[in-house]
């Protein structure tokens, strides 16, 4: 699957969770829903790259890889894959420091720096 091959290239773009703070993704709704860790190992149960976990599976309701779900669909207001969303997920560290929005919406000025490459792996069909 090309998603997982693309992920290997992303490891050089994102700091590893072991070496620095984990980059966590949360939905922009109330209450916020945890959507996984961006820079955790693909073997970590909270990683968005763990295809067998709640946050990396193509079938999980809390996964951005679920293209038919709230958090992965092209047309969902809560999905980073929706190019026009006004409510994309937030990227924060464990201390709550804000890094931006994980979004395909090019018009968001608060877009997470690595969004384009990360989304290529998450939103790929």
Q: At residue 14, does pLDDT exceed 70?
A: no
Q: What's the mean pLDDT in 70-74?
A: 93
Query: What's the half-sphere exposure (Cβ side, CA atoms, 13 Å) at 53?
Result: 18
Mean of all residue pLDDT scores within the chain: 85
Q: Which residue has the higher pLDDT, 121 or 43?
A: 43
Is residue 26 within a helix (H) or strand (E), and if so which, with residue range? strand 24-26
Outline where DSSP puts E strands in 1-125: 24-26, 34-37, 90-92, 98-101
Work out the end-to-end distance of the chain between its first and last CA atoms, rounded to an integer number of angstroms. 10
Q: At residue 3, does pLDDT exceed 60?
A: no
For the ranges 61-65, 89-93, 112-116, the lowest mean pLDDT is seen at 112-116
The pLDDT-based confidence of 115 (bands split at 50, 70, 90) is confident
Query: What's the half-sphere exposure (Cβ side, CA atoms, 13 Å) at 32?
Result: 15
The reported pTM is 0.82
Q: Report the pLDDT value the prediction gives residue 7, as an integer from 0 to 100.
A: 37
Q: At residue 12, does pLDDT exceed 70?
A: no
- Where are the alpha helices (H) located in 1-125, listed in sequence order? 2-10, 115-122
Beta bridge partners of residue 100, listed in sequence order? 91
Q: Report the pLDDT value the prediction gives residue 24, as an integer from 0 to 100.
A: 97
């Amino acid at each position: 699957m090309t998603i997982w091959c693309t992920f290997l290239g992303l490891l050089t773009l994102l700091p590893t969770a072991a070496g620095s703070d984990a980059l966590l993704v949360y939905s922009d709704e109330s209450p916020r829903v945890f959507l996984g860790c961006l820079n955790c190992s693909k073997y970590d149960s909270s990683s968005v790259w763990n295809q067998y976990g709640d946050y990396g599976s193509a079938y999980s309701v809390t996964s951005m890889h679920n293209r038919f779900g709230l958090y992965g669909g092209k047309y969902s207001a809560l999905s980073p894959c929706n190019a026009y969303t006004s409510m994309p997920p937030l990227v924060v560290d464990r201390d709550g420091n804000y890094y931006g929005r994980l979004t395909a919406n090019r018009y968001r000025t608060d877009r997470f720096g690595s969004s384009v490459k990360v989304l290529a792996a998450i939103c790929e069909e």
